[in-house]
Amino acid sequence: MIYIGIDLGGTKIAAGVTDKDGKILAEAATPTLAQRPYQEVVRDMADCALKALQQSGHSLAEVGTIGVGIPGVAENKNGVVIFCTNLGWHDVPLREELQKHIDKPVYIDNDATVAALAESRAGVSKDAHSSIFLTLGTGVGGGIVFDGKPWTGAHGVGTELGHITMEIDGIPCTCGKRGCLERYCSATALIRMGKEAAVQQPDSLMVKRAGSVDAINGKIIIDCAREGDPAAAAVFDRYTKYLAIAVNTMVSFFDPEMIVLGGGISMAGQFLLDAIKEKIPSYLMYKTLPYGKLELAVLGNGAGIIGAAMLGMILKEGETL
């Protein structure tokens, strides 16, 4: 048996075929062109999946399930995307529409949740009974896995970790609230802090490296901090304090065996990990409190496909138990 995983993004659709262990056998991609009616986007999702299937050398009869990771909230009972801001989707019958093109069982979940599932099945948290995944990108996505299965709560929003309140009456968030965790721990937040510091210190290495304040990005900030630029180092120190507080929140509430960091910021590697680990003890309930391992994601861009494919596999198995 093989499985299809579809990673639906705001700019790109990626689809792949995996075996039961999450090994990608073939994959394909196409632009999302999200401004179109959802029916056209779903048709392209199906075409992309079928192209990957053809490249894999397997037949449709061998496909067990299709899993889809979306940048939003879905409800699996009816196969509906409740909302997906980047695509402008509200109450879209994704399962029904996708099955018009490929008549296979379809399962849907948030993209960070399926990435968490991928890491727990085929990545860094493979041997952990419980893990939390935080993706540090434009926003902060979250995924929780217990005993090999994703946990999303009673209403499907249990992993919206980026919207935990970090600061009362803090920075406005795109969700409509203020002070959300992602306003302080995302790549967007790091860039905002870097630009604010650069305005105050226009002679910093960040400005010289970028050419202008507006051109500063996360990589430049981290590279300059690594090289000892005082302004960048202060920004990086502040940013990793927020991340340490975020990790402590996960420890206090979930106490997982492992917390995994993914997304663009995680590319800073050990430099990022060491800075966060150094700060975590000062936020723990008591200094010697044991807490889950903090690790970096290892599956990269393939996590969306692998996790979506594994989602379909395990949810289908759960239905047949």
**DSSP string for 65-117:** EEEEEESSEEETTTTEEEEEGGGTEEEE-HHHHHHTTS-S-EEEEEHHHHHHH
CB 97 within 8 A of CB 223: no
Residues 64 and 40 in one domain: yes
Per-residue pLDDT, 129: 95
Spatial distance between the Cα atoms of 165 and 208, rounded to a whole number of angstroms = 35
Specify the CATH number for the domain of residue 169: 3.30.420.40
Residues 169 and 201 in one domain: yes
Spatial distance between the Cα atoms of 270 and 243, rounded to a whole number of angstroms = 14
Spatial distance between the Cα atoms of 261 and 258, rounded to a whole number of angstroms = 10
Residues 179 and 288 in one domain: yes
Question: What average pLDDT does range 14-34 have in this prediction?
Answer: 96
Residue 225, H or E segment: helix 218-226
Per-residue pLDDT, 321: 33
Sheet strands side by side (includes 106-110): 24-31, 12-18, 2-8, 63-70, 106-110
Residues 155 and 101 in one domain: no
What is the phi-psi region of residue 147: left when phi exceeds 0, alpha when psi lies from -120 to 50, beta otherwise? left
Q: What is the pLDDT of residues 171-229, one digit of tens each?
A: 999 888 999 999 999 999 999 999 999 999 999 999 999 999 999 999 999 999 999 99
Give the pLDDT band of residue 319 (cuts 50, 70, 90). Answer: low
Spatial distance between the Cα atoms of 154 and 136, rounded to a whole number of angstroms = 25
Per-residue pLDDT, 21: 93
Domain with 12 in it: 2-118+301-320
Residues 103 and 168 in one domain: no
pLDDT higher than 50, residue 160: yes
CA-nearest of 244, 206, 210 to 228 is 206
Residues 54 and 137 in one domain: no
Residues 144 and 293 in one domain: yes
Maximum Cα–Cα distance across the chain: 64
pLDDT higher than 60, residue 320: no
Q: What is the pLDDT of residues 133-150, one digit of tens each?
A: 999 998 899 999 998 888
Spatial distance between the Cα atoms of 213 and 188, rounded to a whole number of angstroms = 14
Residues 38 and 175 in one domain: no
pLDDT higher than 50, residue 82: yes
Residues 235 and 186 in one domain: yes
Per-residue pLDDT, 152: 82
CB 287 within 8 A of CB 162: no
Spatial distance between the Cα atoms of 316 and 295, rounded to a whole number of angstroms = 30
Residues 292 and 313 in one domain: no
CB 306 within 8 A of CB 24: yes
How many domains does the structure of the chain reveal? 2
pLDDT higher than 90, residue 105: yes
Residues 145 and 291 in one domain: yes
pTM: 0.88
Q: What is the pLDDT of residues 235-272, one digit of tens each?
A: 999 999 999 999 999 999 899 999 999 999 999 999 99
Sign of the C-alpha dihedral computed for residues 46, 311, 316 and 58 taken in this order: positive
Q: What is the pLDDT of residues 260-318, one digit of tens each?
A: 999 999 999 999 999 999 999 999 987 788 899 999 999 998 999 999 999 999 988 77
CB 76 within 8 A of CB 107: yes
